[in-house]
Structure 1
Amino acid sequence: MTRSKRAFLFLFVLMAVFFLINTPMVWKWMYPIKYEKEILEASSRYQVDPYLILAVIRSESGFQPDRVSKKGAIGLMQVMPETAEWIVEQANLQPSGENYLYDPVMNIHIGTWYLSFLEKRYEGDPVKMIAAYNAGPGKVSSWLAKEQWNGKRETIEDIPFGETRLYVQRVLYYHDRYQNIYSNMLE
């Protein structure tokens, strides 16, 4: 094969890949929705953006309900057992069994209730909510009070914890992706 034919073939393959990637089918394959019914139910019940729930689940567990973090967070939304106990009491939930954090339905309800709690605490500001979901509301409130971070999306790089900074960026990225791909499908 001549050099010009290889170059043409390479260019053709690149163009084909570009056009394939920009199809809705490929985007939906890259950003799947799992547990759609459960997410929509929790979203409606606790008035939380379903795309945010999807983004948190994708960031936290990659949709793996049996995921356990090094720190001990469990399930799809990676909820710490102590936080889950507090939420179960506050939200008057009725989990069945002691391994309820592994149950996708219960885990989604617990995590979504917590996002709703954080949404109220931070007056609907998703950036602060996401940061607090990762670092805890005490840390985020402290950063805001000490003016270490102003809580805005434009200043995420000022978040004092690198893990939280990357987490917020990742969740916002996934949120925007899911919203663009599935716009109006989940609402």
Structure 2
Amino acid sequence: MRLFRLLCGLSFVCAAGLAHADVYGYIDEAGNAHFAAERLDERYQLFLQGDASFDSSKLSAPRAAASAAAATAPAWLTQHPALRKYEPLLEAAAQEYAIDLPLLKAVMAAESGFNADAVSPKGAIGLMQVMPATAERYGLQTDRKKTVEQKLADPKTNIRLAARYLRDLMHRFSGELALVLASYNAGEGAVEKYRNQVPPYPETRNYVKLVTQFYRVFQPAQAAAAAPEQQPRRVFLTIPGRANMPAPQTQQY
């Protein structure tokens, strides 16, 4: 049933014209990969078009990073050392809340680039960029020892809360993946405001595109093909439109 819901969700994404998203990127002098759902400036080059192979060898890079440019882009994602570190927590949360493991990985990649210390300008915290207000809805409370924000910084707590939230969004939107991802980014209230469609926010639409593409990369066949020889550095993901993004809109269950 879980696989059926995800397949239905992917079908919805395709129908909405969001699954075949182009991904642009470049590798900087330090060997870090930068990804975006549109060309932000002259450094960004198209290296993933629609359903084409995800290949970072198409990226131009300074000579100092030439060896990094030779790695396939799946390796930057699937072989990232931080991802391997948190994989047991992801697997446990995926099993506990019946969420597809590749989906959890894709959300983590898009949200934080596997950085457990990430904090967004709007206060989203940790690997899965969970908002404190969302955590409080699920019973996480400040106590004498730690605040909600400090508790959310714990990778296990962060991943479990995100998985639980994604499970509830799956139920709420009948497994339609585009709506689940849009809700995770903008809040379920925003999706319902637009009559259960992806809101017309640039950040949200680009977010759905990116996570959908990364979800494909983390599928077992793609992940197995990733080159393990080179150890990737941190992945930076740029989602346009954040400056104009409304505050997340949520509703109580």
Structure-1-length-normalised TM-score = 0.71
Contact 1:28–1:181 (8 Å) recurs in 2: no
For 1:169, what is the secondary structure of its paired residue? helix
Rg (Cα) greater in structure = 1
1:163 alignment partner, one of 193, 203, 207: 203
Structure-2-length-normalised TM-score = 0.53
| Superposition map of 1:11-50 within 5 A | 21=71, 27-31=74-78, 32=80, 33-34=83-84, 35-50=86-101
Offset, 1:171:
0.6
Offset, 1:181:
2.2
For 1:144, what is the secondary structure of its paired residue? coil
Unaligned regions of 5+ residues in structure 2, if any? 1-56, 58-66, 225-253
Q: Does 1:182 align with 2:229?
A: no
Equivalent residue pairs, number? 148
Identify the residue that residue 155 of structure 1 maps to in structure 2.
Answer: none
Contact 1:132–1:140 (8 Å) recurs in 2: yes
Identify the residue that residue 131 of structure 1 maps to in structure 2.
Answer: 182
Distance 1:86 1:30, change over 3 A: closer
Offset, 1:37:
0.4
Contact 1:43–1:49 (8 Å) recurs in 2: yes
For 1:88, what is the secondary structure of its paired residue? coil
CA distance in 2, matches of 1:71, 1:132: 16
Segment of structure 1 superposing worse, 167-176 or 136-145 = 136-145
Distance 1:65 1:30, change over 3 A: closer
CA distance in 2, matches of 1:167, 1:115: 15
* Higher RCO (CA-CA < 8 Å; seq separation 6+): 2
Amino acid in structure 2 at the alignment position of 1:139: A
For 2:156, what is the secondary structure of its paired residue? helix
Amino acid in structure 2 at the alignment position of 1:130: L
Contact 1:51–1:178 (8 Å) recurs in 2: yes
| Superposition map of 1:1-187 within 5 A | 21=71, 27-31=74-78, 32=80, 33-34=83-84, 35-88=86-139, 97-98=146-147, 99-144=150-195, 149=197, 159-179=199-219, 180-182=221-223
Structure with the higher fraction of residues in strand conformation: 2
Segment of structure 1 superposing worse, 47-56 or 174-183 = 174-183
Identify the residue that residue 92 of structure 1 maps to in structure 2.
Answer: none
RMSD: 2.5
Offset, 1:28:
3.0
Amino acid in structure 2 at the alignment position of 1:182: A
Unaligned regions of 5+ residues in structure 1, if any? 1-13, 90-95, 152-158
Offset, 1:141:
1.3
Contact 2:97–2:164 (8 Å) recurs in 1: yes
